[in-house]
Structure 1
């Protein structure tokens, strides 16, 4: 007698089966081959495969000993020999392994299958084999912990529209060349903690979004006429103090296009005693959404507040609070209205404060922003996760005393 469940499974259309298997961890997708004869090879034609932590479950797999390497080689061999049809997306996550398994055959196989979306999270300083540079149909590329040394005849990935590099070892010259040869590139994400020897000039005529974490002084927006979103986070391994005054008064922002609407700034460590500029040498009239970090336990809070002056048409302001929980932190004179007699944010409609801890200086900042924003409609305050309920209640009471725009509403967003 035929199993009715088996009959139902065998009648499912192939596209429905594919959608089911794609949503399963790869290990579970392979296990569906025991359901019936019809399902035995369904996983072999999936267009997307993911070998991540859900697949490498055992501790030996995660550490990457000789046995794990052997299992890895066997797994890749089974995929290469059994897979049929197009393979558009492949994800490999082995960044915590202690040894480097062979992936040359895998990348050659992906290249022959015209892979379009590739994610490689590999062990530290993993040198990519020559076969990687033959994946010329790539449109989305994510690399982590890789060493990039392309062959002399490599011309770049000219179909790439998104490039994301995390802790990738690459020379400034090669990175600059790689980006400039991606003429269709729309999204760029760089996480570089190593100090680069030279400045990277970003030449990408189609680029719309750029997210850079590293030493801000090593990046130059040379030709990005369509850029609408820019995120800059300062980071260096040696935590050398950043000359934020010199950076803000340089011509870096002058090269930003007129289309730039979203800007995220986090310039990290600020040297004490630096002379902080009151504003940029010019206004960025196009920026409507600004996200920035404010360090409330430092006197340099005046810097980000003054910087906001350079965005006269700002509509949305998001502030990430960075602080330690110092008790009895005194108020700051620079946070009184008298210190900003000529400042008013006529177009500011929404303010979001993240990780607020209801300190004296923070309440000063909230009061100041409310007073300076006549068009404000909404202020959302997200308290720090360690803030007690009693403190939150006191904060609400205090906020009710502040004067604000007639249509403004203050919301406390509890996580």
Structure 2
């Protein structure tokens, strides 16, 4: 065969397969999901390349009619499952779910969202249209504005994120809350009270990690307007009781919870340069009087871990020992301190009056 004729038989170069990976990714990121899947037929290599697309957008182009969203076989959950478990390979850096016809789920019981950005209006409307929702988990949620949650069947709520403030407006059955705000910003005293005003069934409350806007310090009341009569277990961690706001916050919750059975407080380790507003002496001196009308008849266990045992903390320990006739055990683990100071604190605590003859004070030192 002549040389010219032999060249005619050579396959043409596969230019699409030879594109740089970042160019292919850029092309795929501009396509709808339907076209991404279809692109697997463009060339033999693209059937694998398109399956590792780092950014995915699910929007109205995936469904031909709004009814398909709630279809048990065509709805967005089967499509997401099929895409991520059967089609997609590798790491997904970003997933966008853009569904304008989506009103809620009338049979949804558990909802977990992680690392998403939410519009307040969209989210509030969505949750209010999930009438059977019992468990709600929001982790790494981003929204700079306040958000309201109305869920009459909700029993458990876990939140971690940087939403300015969350109002729980219609949650009559909510009994378990784990709250980890990146920053708490209060505009006035009502803001703080409103966090707890509509949770009549609250039994277990955990607040982890404090970052407070300095202007919020003055907006913590002595007690909440309505007592948390059902609250049995209170857990507060990553807190500095030597700081005015955080001590005021803790005292307010304890004073507002007459039926507590268990209290656990874990301190945080301050870094050089951390700023906090120290507790004035008059505030420390008023702590015993602020509990004068209270008795914790159900309190059995108290734990203080990694605390500095400064005056405010010592006053709180004194009050709880004197006001808890059913107390069985109090554990105190101070943050590392000099031996002489640690022994001095221990001697002082052993002299505190105890309302319970069975109360055991365990002082844990390294």
Fold shared, TM-score > 0.5 on shorter chain: yes
Does the 8 A contact of 2:149 with 2:170 survive in 1? yes
Residues 136 and 155 (structure 1), Cα distance of their counterparts in 2 relative to 1, 3 Å cut: farther
Q: Could you list the per-position Cα deviations for residues 24-64 of structure 1 after superposition, in whole angstroms to 9, with x for gaps in the alignment?
A: xxxxxxxxxxxxxxxxxxxxxxxxxxxxxxxxxxxxxxxxx
CA drift of 1:333 comes to 4.0
Q: Report how many residues are paired.
A: 293
- 1:129 aligns to what? 58
Residues 152 and 380 (structure 1), Cα distance of their counterparts in 2 relative to 1, 3 Å cut: same
Q: Could you list the per-position Cα deviations for residues 224-278 of structure 1 after superposition, in whole angstroms to 9, with x for gaps in the alignment?
A: 2321112334334xx7x5346232344x423213x22112346641537625422
Does the 8 A contact of 2:117 with 2:142 survive in 1? no
CA drift of 1:397 comes to 4.0
Q: Could you list the per-position Cα deviations for residues 96-135 of structure 1 after superposition, in whole angstroms to 9, with x for gaps in the alignment?
A: xxx98x9969xx9xxxxxxxxxxxxx98xx5543469611
Does the 8 A contact of 1:183 with 1:204 survive in 2? yes
Q: Could you list the per-position Cα deviations for residues 171-222 of structure 1 after superposition, in whole angstroms to 9, with x for gaps in the alignment?
A: 11222233234344322122434303xx433232332111233567642323
- 2:330 aligns to what? 379
For residues 220 and 193 of structure 2, what CA distance do their matches in structure 1 show? Answer: 10
Does the 8 A contact of 1:145 with 1:168 survive in 2? no
1:156-235 pair list within 5 angstroms: 156-190=104-138, 191-196=140-145, 199-214=146-161, 218-235=165-182
Paired residue secondary structure (1:279): coil
Does the 8 A contact of 1:291 with 1:319 survive in 2? yes
- 1:315 aligns to what? 261
- 2:281 aligns to what? 332
For residues 270 and 294 of structure 2, what CA distance do their matches in structure 1 show? Answer: 29
Residues 390 and 284 (structure 1), Cα distance of their counterparts in 2 relative to 1, 3 Å cut: same
For residues 370 and 315 of structure 1, what CA distance do their matches in structure 2 show? Answer: 13
The reply to whether residue 263 of structure 1 matches residue 208 of structure 2 is no
**Which residue, 102, 123, 136 being the options, matches 1:154?**
102
For residues 202 and 80 of structure 2, what CA distance do their matches in structure 1 show? Answer: 27
For residues 360 and 342 of structure 1, what CA distance do their matches in structure 2 show? Answer: 22
- 2:292 aligns to what? 341
CA drift of 1:414 comes to 6.6
TM-score by length of 2: 0.63
Does the 8 A contact of 2:261 with 2:301 survive in 1? yes
Structure 2, gaps ≥5 residues long: 1-19, 38-52, 63-68, 70-74, 82-91, 273-277
For residues 225 and 109 of structure 2, what CA distance do their matches in structure 1 show? Answer: 34
Does the 8 A contact of 1:216 with 1:233 survive in 2? no
Does the 8 A contact of 2:186 with 2:219 survive in 1? no
- Give the number of the structure whose alpha-carbon radius of gyration is greater: 2
Paired residue secondary structure (2:242): coil
Does the 8 A contact of 1:193 with 1:213 survive in 2? no
For residues 103 and 379 of structure 1, what CA distance do their matches in structure 2 show? Answer: 60
CA RMSD, Structure 1 to Structure 2 (Å) = 4.3
1:396-415 pair list within 5 angstroms: 396-404=346-354, 405-412=356-363
Q: Which has the higher contact order (CA 8 A, sep 6+)?
A: 2
